[in-house]
Amino acid sequence: MVLKLYCAPVLGVRSSGAIVALVLAEKQIPFENVPIEFLEMEHKSPEHLARHPFGQVPVIDDDGFVLYESHAICRYLAEKYPEKGPKLVPGPDASLQERALFEQASSVERANFSGIAGLLQTETFIKPRSGLPVDHAAVERALVQLGAKLDVYEQILSKQKYIGGDEVSLVDLFHLAPMTALLGDGSVDVDVMVGERRPNVARWWNALSTRPGWVRLQERGIQSLA
Ligand SMILES: N[C@@H](CCC(=O)N[C@@H](CS)C(=O)NCC(=O)O)C(=O)O
């Protein structure tokens, strides 16, 4: 049975579901996109709560195996298909040190990026689409915090191509959705990812955001590219 990916069409390709779609594209795995209509509160329906107890998306159904939380889903897919496309996670033959460096990069993203980026994504992308008022002071504060974190990213990326080393990994891809949401419609004037003062962050961001699968998803919306 083809894998099902439950996503919210109203959020489109700038939500965490898009990263799952990207991993599926990188791994050339076909899937069926099942829409969950937020405006009809379908995500809080008993049927969807049975898939995801917090009533969120994305969720996958892989032949009856139901999994939520985008990072867990991506990791599951990357580990299930190590031979297809880029590895994205340490392979079964990786050394203890290679696995430790991947976990370090994963923690870097969670501890220093995802909270701030998630707030920016909510304020600049999700709230305007839900008719909720944007907290502009919180956006300003978050941008300052993000800049300080990216100064450290600049140091890391001056020594290696990607956050976890010289190979692209899931950790890099996890940065794409919130930042694309922030940079997307020009409603916030930011150059945090591409400004000249952080040339290595800009190089890294340009390499990530022009990955063919990501470009095609941005053009076509969430759909199977396999
Ligand atoms: N940590 C979760 C976050 C999921 C999440 O926040 N999903 C949003 C859409 S991007 C959602 O479903 N929001 C509806 C809600 O929280 O009620 C993941 O990465 O999967």
92-124: per-residue pLDDT in tens?
Answer: 899 999 999 999 999 999 999 999 988 988 888
Q: Which atom of ligand 1 is nearest to the CA of 16?
A: 10
pLDDT over 70 (residue 89): yes
- Ligand 1 centroid vs 43 CA: distance in angstroms? 10
Helix 16-26 and helix 212-220: axis angle, to 10°? 130
Give yes or no for residue 122 CB within 6 A of ligand 1: no
Three-state DSSP class for residue 68: strand
Q: Give the pairing type, strands 3-7 and 31-35.
A: parallel
Please, what is the average pLDDT of the chain? 92
Mean pLDDT of 170-181: 89
State how far the Cα of 127 lies from the Cα of 129, in Å rounded to an integer.
5
Q: The dihedral of CA 187, 191, 193, 194: what is its sign?
A: positive
pLDDT over 90 (residue 13): no
pLDDT over 90 (residue 43): yes
How much of the chain is helix, strand and coil, in % rounded to 5?
55, 10, 35
Q: Whose CA is nearest to atom 12 of ligand 1?
A: 56
Q: Is 64 exposed, middle or buried (0-12, 13-18, 19+ CB in 10 A)?
A: exposed
H helical segments located in the chain: 16-26, 46-51, 70-80, 96-109, 115-121, 127-130, 136-157, 170-173, 176-184, 199-209, 212-220
**What pLDDT, in 10s, does the model give residues 160-170?**
999 999 999 99
**What pLDDT, in 10s, does the model give residues 203-214?**
999 999 999 999
Give yes or no for residue 56 CB within 6 A of ligand 1: yes
